[in-house]
Structure 1
Amino acid sequence: MATVALPVLQDAACSTETDPKQEISAADAALAEGRLWRPRRVFITPDAYALPHGRAMLERAENFGAEVIRLKQNRLTGLSGEDERKAYALAKTSLAIVVSPPSARKLQPIPPSADWQFHLAQGCPAHCQYCYLAGSLSGPPITRVYANLDEILENLRGYAGTGKVTSTSAERAHEGTTFEASCYTDPLGIEHLTGGLQQTVRFFGQWDAPVQLRFTTKFAAVGPLLGLEHRRRTRVRFSLNAASVSRDFEGGTATVAQRIRALRRMALAGYPVGLTVAPIMPVEGWQTEYSTLFADVGAALDGVDAVDLTVELITHRFTAGSREVLLGWYPKTTLDLEKENRSEKRNKFGGFKYVYPRDRMSEMRSWFDEAVVRFLPYARTLYWT
């Protein structure tokens, strides 16, 4: 059987991958990482084509068999469909290579996760029926990747030492100034097309300042990241859920087992890691299912030296706008989007989300707090929401 050697880290501060025995079969690697997204068509704007990173992404997409559409203007066209479902299907099978606007480089805070959010891309190839991007991004849900990556990364330097989430927190100040890269995308799910996450990890590893890159993923193709000199300045969190929630509502993602395997590989490579347990749902037998999840994570991390693990606990919620969009995308969904089963939680801007009632939230929070301590006693829970 053909084998491929796993990369060995050059950074003395990070441990090398030792499981399994520095080698993994090609077949096992493919099975562990899941299938990669292959867009059917790739759009590229003139400004994006003028940049080396834009052309490199175009070449990668071509190598994966995508049809290339060179746009004549810096505006996306050709994504309309006869109805919302067809427009959704067209967008979800397309990739757009564009330049991020200047407004996107004026960073915004992202509590309670990190000091600042920045964007390598917007949109995601997965088909999660509870998608948090629904109602947040305008237009068809095409995945847009940004060609001006160097400009985006250099812009971050002006924000070091600022922020009000980790920079000023007694409990999290050791993380430094934190930058969240997965608010509007799953950067690992498109990394085989962009290469941008590798460049970003290297950028933070070389940045001589107390800073940290953070991203969350539902994918498992971590191979290209294992040998990077990250210097422990990147925390990768794997979005995990109860088996039935993932099975019923998370289309186009790596399996939970694949994500847990990827979590172990990243921890062995010296990365700080995390669990984003989201969106938590009190499905039938939820205590048993989430117990199994935490037990499986604990087993996967067994034997990893000095593992740095955080936990973020996020319950399911939706807005009136996102509900309308999701039901348009997934009209046959069995996801509970009934307003009558929820309480309204208002924000400081006058809007509101539908969340679980107070008694149910209190019950779940108490259970999850105890379960994390029981199954993962070395983990730090960052927040519950």
Structure 2
Amino acid sequence: MGAIERRQLLDIRRIYVEPAAAELPRGREVLDRFPGAELVEIAGHHRIPELYGDEANVARWVRIKTEALVLGVKKSLTARPNGRSADFIAPSTANGCAMACAYCYVPRRKGYSNPITVFANIEQIIGYLRRHAGRQGGKPEPNQVDPDAWVYDLGENSDCSVDATISANVRDLVELFRDLPNAKASFATKYVNRDLLDWDPRGRTRVRFSLMPAADAKLLDIRTSSVGERLAAIDDFVAAGYEVHVNLSPVVVRDGWLDDWAELLGELDDAIGPATRRQLAAEVIFLTLNDRLHEVNLGWHPKAEDLLWRPDLQQAKRSETGGRNVRYRTGHKGRYVAALTALIGDRLPYCRIRYAF
């Protein structure tokens, strides 16, 4: 899919509002941004029967993402240890997404619809993060996440670049981490939002541009910025003061997959200059799918499942939440990972692989 205009991505016509959120300054700002939207009062952002759990919503998947917004208050504030993409997962300032990547795990948690939920209690979240980072002190030793700073992932359940088109929450967080001496922010994105280039992050926010071969992205990365747009933005974000890594995921195994990844790595090498190469690192994540997401996808985008749901290549594993995940078979997956990491080492010798699985 090529470039997508903001007005195509979001055309908010109905906002589901927790009264407590509407009373907060950030909540009022969001409501003022969409003055023509119908307001629907809700008891809680997780309890909206007409959005979550209604199987009929599969047919309206993209329309709901485009037209609905939820405004709530984040009740539980915790920074969970991580160790892969970040040292900690920060409390969410948003949940859900206007984009519609076929492999996204959030829909399997939220049911048959996952429009954006914005949390209005940003000052409370910022205060929590400042105190949490302060308690950590200096990082005692380097790890694969970062050699010096504690890294907090901001967008586990959303895409921060899209969230930034709705509220100032993400900018507030970038400005928070800009001034924390021992911590960095981090988020992965599939949407190029050039407004972020004016935020002066001073190297304290890491943007991880998600990349996959164009043939896969056309089928799986629905309503996102094109891979070409993402590649073209990388040097600009480095010049604007961001640390930029690449998130090579999900890696989908199919006929010709390694050749297409070789082509993508060549395109990445051609797109970036010396400043980006000096700081570039990568995460490599092979596809994991869930049986509940598979059922959802069959209702709105069955062609994607021809690529994602491959029982001949995959094996099942019961997840911690009781679902049935499928991933590439043990033994075979190890060879796939080794082949791709060797290819990265050959084509991008300057790019450190932070982790691959």
Scaled to the shorter chain, the TM-score interval is 0.7 to 0.9
Q: C-alpha displacement at 1:175, in angstroms?
A: 4.1
Which 5+ residue runs of structure 2 have no aligned equivalent?
none
Aligned equivalent of 2:155 = 182
Aligned equivalent of 1:38 = 10
Q: Which range moved further: 264-273 or 367-376?
A: 367-376
Q: Which amino acid aligns with 2:74?
A: S
Q: Which amino acid aligns with 1:229?
A: D
Q: Which amino acid aligns with 1:95?
A: L
Q: CA RMSD in A?
A: 2.7
The question of whether the paired residues in 2 share the 8 Å contact of 1:216 and 1:237 is answered with yes
Matched, 1:219 2:198: no
Structure 1 residues 172 and 206: alpha-carbon distance in aligned structure 2, compared to 1, 3 A threshold: same
Which 5+ residue runs of structure 1 have no aligned equivalent?
1-31
- Which of 62, 84, 89 lines up with 1:112 in the alignment? 84
Q: Which amino acid aligns with 2:81?
A: P
CA distance in 2, matches of 1:368, 1:161: 39
The question of whether the paired residues in 2 share the 8 Å contact of 1:134 and 1:326 is answered with no
Aligned equivalent of 1:122 = 95
Aligned equivalent of 1:58 = 31
The question of whether the paired residues in 2 share the 8 Å contact of 1:178 and 1:211 is answered with yes
Q: C-alpha displacement at 1:344, in angstroms?
A: 3.1
Q: Which range moved further: 83-92 or 356-365?
A: 83-92
Structure 1 residues 362 and 90: alpha-carbon distance in aligned structure 2, compared to 1, 3 A threshold: same
Q: Which amino acid aligns with 2:106?
A: L
Aligned equivalent of 2:113 = 140
Percent of residue pairs bearing the same amino acid type: 25
- Which of 241, 253, 271 lines up with 1:300 in the alignment? 271
Aligned equivalent of 2:342 = 370
The 3-state SS of whatever aligns with 2:161 is helix
- Which of 247, 250, 267 lines up with 1:279 in the alignment? 250
Q: C-alpha displacement at 1:347, in angstroms?
A: 6.0
The question of whether the paired residues in 1 share the 8 Å contact of 2:21 and 2:121 is answered with yes
The question of whether the paired residues in 1 share the 8 Å contact of 2:184 and 2:206 is answered with yes
Paired residues, number:
345
Matched, 1:68 2:41: no
Aligned equivalent of 1:12 = none
The 3-state SS of whatever aligns with 1:83 is helix
The question of whether the paired residues in 2 share the 8 Å contact of 1:98 and 1:145 is answered with yes
Q: C-alpha displacement at 1:375, in angstroms?
A: 2.4
Aligned equivalent of 1:335 = 307
Q: C-alpha displacement at 1:328, in angstroms?
A: 3.4
Q: C-alpha displacement at 1:275, in angstroms?
A: 0.8
Q: C-alpha displacement at 1:201, in angstroms?
A: 0.6
The 3-state SS of whatever aligns with 1:136 is helix
Aligned equivalent of 1:191 = 164
Structure 1 residues 47 and 348: alpha-carbon distance in aligned structure 2, compared to 1, 3 A threshold: closer
Q: Normalized against structure 2, the TM-score is what?
A: 0.87
Q: C-alpha displacement at 1:378, in angstroms?
A: 1.9
The question of whether the paired residues in 2 share the 8 Å contact of 1:129 and 1:335 is answered with no
Q: Which amino acid aligns with 1:69?
A: L
Q: Normalized against structure 1, the TM-score is what?
A: 0.81
Q: Which amino acid aligns with 1:353?
A: N
Aligned equivalent of 1:360 = 332
Q: Which amino acid aligns with 2:72?
A: V
For residues 186-222 of structure 1, what are the alpha-carbon distances to aligned partners after superposition, in whole Å with 9 as ceiling and x for unaligned? 1102311112211111110022x2101010000011x
For residues 216-239 of structure 1, what are the alpha-carbon distances to aligned partners after superposition, in whole Å with 9 as ceiling and x for unaligned? 000011x22223231211000011
- Which of 46, 70, 74 lines up with 1:96 in the alignment? 70
Q: Which amino acid aligns with 2:287?
A: H
Aligned equivalent of 1:248 = 219
Q: C-alpha displacement at 1:361, in angstroms?
A: 1.5
CA distance in 2, matches of 1:232, 1:380: 18
CA distance in 2, matches of 1:354, 1:182: 24
CA distance in 1, matches of 2:320, 2:140: 23
- Which of 155, 159, 179 lines up with 2:132 in the alignment? 159
